[in-house]
């Protein structure tokens, strides 16, 4: 959906073989069709979950349907994911939080990842992504889908790259058919959303690797695709076969998370030509997906200095017609290694205030190692704090109500209600043990300012 005051050009689906430089010629007027009517799986999910969605999002059914049809909202939920908690992402729904978990060639422990999934859910994550690259990926994915109602996302190209390496091939030695087959298989399994780097073009990859960037391509999926294009001399198969992807995803209501394969990996790279080349392509692809009855999200930066966060978020939202924006952080400084969840929460709060819809957490382990369960917990809470701060700044009623409840409880030294208003009630109860029934706060004791300010009896 365009921003207020901006006309919305529409396009006809582009033939899969059309060259990338024809994307700018693809804007054609067409008779608008409802996205929901084109997507029976989505329509059924909405029917089944609408009452709960309306209550949680403080929206009526008509507004939810209209926003989904316009593209500013999307519904995560694959009917093949048993008991999935269908979740709305986008405007004007609540800001949501995602947690990334998964194995790696360095550490592969499927049971440990199952524990992290439960930790993420308990900490209040709204969705989880399985980024596993080692072990029995099909089994890991199936276990996660059966273990949790949270929408599950994946990056299918990781599984294809693993299959190539296990067969003694280069990680980028796959065929387009193998990539499409993996997407189809995961959709059949019940995966709710997939990161697909459809907007990474040969031109974009060249811009990111021409020496002008401090850190060229930091996305694993983006790097694999850039390697594939360099080896084959062909255009990104996710772009040339985009219509086939739409057919798969519409059948199962898999939301396409249009990946940011060229996101800035260092603050100095934010807003460079490579990043915007991809963003502009993603905007065109979003329109094609909506025309075909498929929901999308746009993945965003990355590393962005504090003073550029507003321009980045608002620029991406405008270039992609108000599509739901899914951001990693953004990290506002590059030097917080070991505490990147804090750098990401600062950027996430600003991003939420300026229009981001879905915050992908960072953990203290970011850039260093695979996160453990404690890292997952801290990462989810950091992003939930960011979402709360951003929504309070926007005046969202539910966020203001929570702030007000905490203020009231603190004025009354009501420890029970302080815990209930807090984002991490277990921590509040734990740290306030011994003082929660007292007449003074646990920090100041007899010097409690609230008590001293009360009229003497």
- The residues spanned by each domain of the chain are 30-395, 403-452
Query: Where does the pLDDT of residue 265 fall: very low under 50, low under 70, confident under 90, or very high at 90 and above?
Result: very high
Please tell me the distance from the alpha carbon of residue 403 to that of residue 23, in angstroms, as a whole number. Answer: 46
CATH code at 30-395: 3.20.20.540
Write down the residue that tokens 């009623």 correspond to.
397
211-221 burial, b for 16+ CB within 10 Å, e for fewer? eebeebbbbbb
Two structure tokens written together for 147: 């273990």
Closest CA to 338 of 373, 375, 366: 366
Query: pLDDT exceeding 90 applies to what percent of the chain?
Result: 83
Q: Do residues 224 and 288 touch, judged by C-beta distance below 8 A?
A: no
Residue 187 has pLDDT above 70, yes or no: yes
Indicate the helix (H) or strand (E) that contains 411. Answer: helix 397-411
Please tell me the distance from the alpha carbon of residue 245 to that of residue 124, in angstroms, as a whole number. Answer: 31
Q: Do residues 35 and 293 touch, judged by C-beta distance below 8 A?
A: yes
Q: Do residues 20 and 282 touch, judged by C-beta distance below 8 A?
A: no
Residue 27 has pLDDT above 90, yes or no: no
State residue 106's pLDDT score.
82
Helices (H), 263-367: 273-291, 309-319, 340-353
State residue 19's pLDDT score.
41
- Average pLDDT of 371-379? 97
The model's pTM is 0.90
Q: Is the dihedral of CA 26, 32, 38, 44 positive or negative?
A: positive
Closest CA to 48 of 34, 57, 61: 61
Radius of gyration of the chain (CA): 23
Residue 235 has pLDDT above 60, yes or no: yes
Query: Where does the pLDDT of residue 452 fall: very low under 50, low under 70, confident under 90, or very high at 90 and above?
Result: confident
Two structure tokens written together for 95: 């800001």
Residue 25 has pLDDT above 70, yes or no: no
Omega within 30 of 0 (cis) for the link into 330:
yes
Residue 283 has pLDDT above 50, yes or no: yes
47 Cβ partners below 8 Å, 6+ apart? none
Query: Where does the pLDDT of residue 32 fall: very low under 50, low under 70, confident under 90, or very high at 90 and above?
Result: low
State residue 456's pLDDT score.
72
Q: Give the C-alpha distances (Å, rounded to integers) separating 159 from 4, 155, 173, 342, 386.
A: 41, 8, 12, 31, 32
For the ranges 36-45, 65-74, 105-114, 256-265, the lowest mean pLDDT is seen at 105-114
Closest CA to 279 of 230, 182, 223, 208: 208
- Average pLDDT of 176-185? 98
Residue 31 has pLDDT above 90, yes or no: no
Residue 13 has pLDDT above 70, yes or no: no
Torsion, Cα of 260, 194, 348, 344 (10° steps): -80
């Amino acid at each position: 959906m365009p921003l207020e005051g901006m006309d919305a050009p529409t396009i006809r689906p582009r033939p899969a073989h059309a060259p990338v430089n024809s994307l700018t010629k693809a804007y054609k007027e067409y008779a608008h069709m409802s996205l929901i009517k084109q997507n029976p799986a989505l329509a059924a999910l909405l029917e089944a979950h609408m009452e709960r969605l309306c209550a949680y999002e403080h929206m009526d059914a008509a507004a939810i349907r209209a926003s989904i049809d316009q593209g500013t909202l999307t519904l995560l939920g694959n009917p093949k994911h048993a008991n999935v908690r269908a979740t709305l992402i986008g405007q004007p729904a609540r800001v949501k939080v995602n947690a990334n978990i998964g194995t790696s060639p360095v550490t592969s422990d499927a049971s440990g990842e199952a524990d992290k999934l439960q930790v993420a859910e308990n900490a209040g994550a709204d969705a989880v992504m399985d980024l596993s690259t080692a072990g029995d990926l099909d089994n890991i994915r199936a276990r996660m889908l059966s273990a949790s109602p949270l929408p599950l996302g994946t990056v299918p190209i990781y599984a294809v790259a693993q299959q190539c390496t296990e067969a003694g091939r280069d990680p980028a030695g796959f065929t387009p058919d193998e990539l499409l087959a993996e997407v189809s298989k995961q959709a059949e399994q019940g995966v709710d959303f997939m990161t697909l780097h459809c907007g990474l073009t040969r031109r974009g990859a060249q811009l990111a690797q021409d020496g002008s960037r401090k850190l060229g391509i930091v996305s694993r999926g983006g790097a694999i695709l850039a390697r594939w294009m360099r080896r084959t001399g062909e255009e990104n198969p996710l772009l040339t076969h985009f219509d086939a992807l739409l057919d798969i995803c519409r059948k199962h209501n898999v939301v396409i998370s249009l990946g940011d394969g060229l996101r800035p990996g260092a603050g100095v790279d934010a807003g460079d030509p490579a990043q915007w080349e991809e963003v502009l392509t993603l905007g065109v692809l979003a329109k094609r997906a909506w025309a075909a009855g498929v929901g999308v999200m746009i993945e965003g930066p990355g590393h962005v200095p504090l003073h550029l966060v507003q321009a980045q978020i608002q620029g991406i939202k405008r270039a992609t017609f108000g599509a739901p924006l899914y951001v990693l952080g953004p990290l506002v400084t590059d030097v917080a290694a070991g505490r990147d969840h804090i750098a990401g929460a600062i950027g996430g709060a600003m991003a939420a205030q300026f229009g981001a819809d879905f915050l992908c957490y960072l953990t203290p382990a970011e850039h260093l190692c695979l996160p453990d369960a404690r890292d997952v917990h801290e990462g989810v809470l950091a992003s939930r704090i960011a979402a709360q701060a951003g929504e309070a700044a926007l005046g969202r009623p539910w966020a203001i109500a929570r702030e007000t409840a905490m203020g009231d409880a603190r004025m009354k030294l009501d420890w029970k209600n302080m815990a209930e208003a807090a984002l991490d009630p277990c921590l509040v109860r734990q740290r306030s043990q011994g003082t929660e029934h007292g007449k003074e706060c646990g920090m100041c004791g007899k010097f409690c300012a609230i008590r001293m300010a009360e009229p003497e009896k």
